[in-house]
Amino acid sequence: MIVLGLETSCDETAAALVAAEDGGRPHVLAERVYSQIAEHAPYAGVVPEIAARAHVAHLDRLVAEVMAEAGLDYGDVDAVAATAGPGLIGGLLVGLTTAKAIALAAERPLVAVNHLEAHALSPRLEAELDFPYLLLLVSGGHCQLLTVHDVGRFTRLGSTIDDAVGEAFDKVAKMLGLGYPGGPAVERAAAAGDPGAIPLPRPLKGRAGCDFSFSGLKNAVRLAVAAAEPPLPVADICASFQAAVTEVMVDRVGHAMSLHEERTAGRGRALVVAGGVAANQALRQALASLAAGRDWRLVVPPLRLCTDNGVMVALAGIERLRRGLTDPLDVAPRPRWPLDPGAAPLPFAGV
Ligand code: ATP
Ligand code: MG
Ligand code: FE
């Protein structure tokens, strides 16, 4: 089967064609990602209206390019999958409406994909990875720990009670004038700094559970910036911030590993990291030694699969289509759509 996947939930416009034979491992036929970083950089963050307009401007071209590269017509596609949430409503409308139009014209089923499920399943493209596993999803908009039992079956073990970790990186970078996106800039600056130079809090470290909190840490950085004598010790601040984040992550993930082991009776001792923050080398190294110390496997997909992309949406589409899970053409986008329905109320957008 061949599935076309569209991703427009945030600031990447993406399309991909993924194929899979019966029961076989899926493979990518063609993929395109247009990153809107340049459009949002002047504002040091994603501007929803600019994002939606950029999706309109670029999505059709990207779809045409992947179809041409794979040498396919819409009639060769078995289903059209698009991210239906969670995300920015303007972008979701662009992607989902485009997918509906193609599905209608080609008389193919539509699959409305949860963006978090797409991130959660994406490591299965390149790694031999059976259910269940523990997922750490860390990006600009998300920071959570989930047990992935199966397609459509997740248990949320913890999540941020305020900012996402990527958002904290972006805001610290903004305070220091390092530009956008902040994560890579902070990591580069941290390489020349002393992680012990600036005392910063480790929010929730040692507490029960697996939730995260980054707003107090962000404010502590703000105070350190205000109190510093010029010239601003940018490298030391970045190194100290990154060390605090890493230490908190290791603590929270350690708790989640214990919970996951209890709930899965010791099966599935694999930690999978997804989302843009998975690019951070300090975090990766710390998680690698945590996993090794507990005799767990660490799976970090290649970066192009960690950040937002169309391949993961097509892949989630394949997994759902294989289970007969398709959606009607009047399905609505859901700006808020948690994976674990028991964990939070589900306000329905009804757009
Ligand atoms: P969503 O949260 O909806 O999945 P997003 O665009 O916010 O979308 P991604 O594209 O997955 O998320 O990742 C971008 C985030 O990852 C940004 O916050 C960025 O600062 C962060 N990031 C990227 N590289 C690094 C790095 N090396 N270290 C830390 N953070 C990083
Ligand atoms: Mg992004
Ligand atoms: Fe994402």
Digits of tens for pLDDT over the chain (351 positions)?
999 999 999 999 999 999 999 878 899 999 999 999 999 989 888 999 999 999 999 999 999 999 999 999 999 999 999 999 999 999 999 999 999 999 999 999 999 999 999 999 999 999 899 999 999 999 999 999 999 999 999 999 999 999 999 999 999 999 999 988 899 999 999 999 999 999 999 999 999 999 999 999 999 999 999 999 999 999 999 999 999 999 999 999 999 999 999 999 888 999 999 999 999 999 999 999 999 999 999 999 998 999 999 999 999 999 999 999 999 999 999 999 998 865 443 333 333
Distance CA 271, CA 133 (A): 6
Q: Which residue among 7, 43, 135, 169 has the greatest number of ligand 1 atoms within 8 angstroms of its CB, and so is best to mutate?
A: 169
In the structure encoding, which two tokens stand for residue 60, read together? Answer: 């059709």
Q: Which of 238, 307, 312, 339 to mutate to test the pocket of ligand 1 (most atoms within 8 A of CB)?
A: 307
Read off the pTM. 0.92
| Residue entry with tokens 């860390």 | 138
Rounded distance from Cα 174 to ligand 1 centre (Å): 14
Q: How far is CA 61 from CA 56, 69, 72, 82, 240, in A?
A: 10, 12, 15, 16, 43
| 337 phi and psi angles, rounded to 5 deg | -155, 80
Structure tokens, 187 = 């990591």
Strand partners, 271: 134, 298
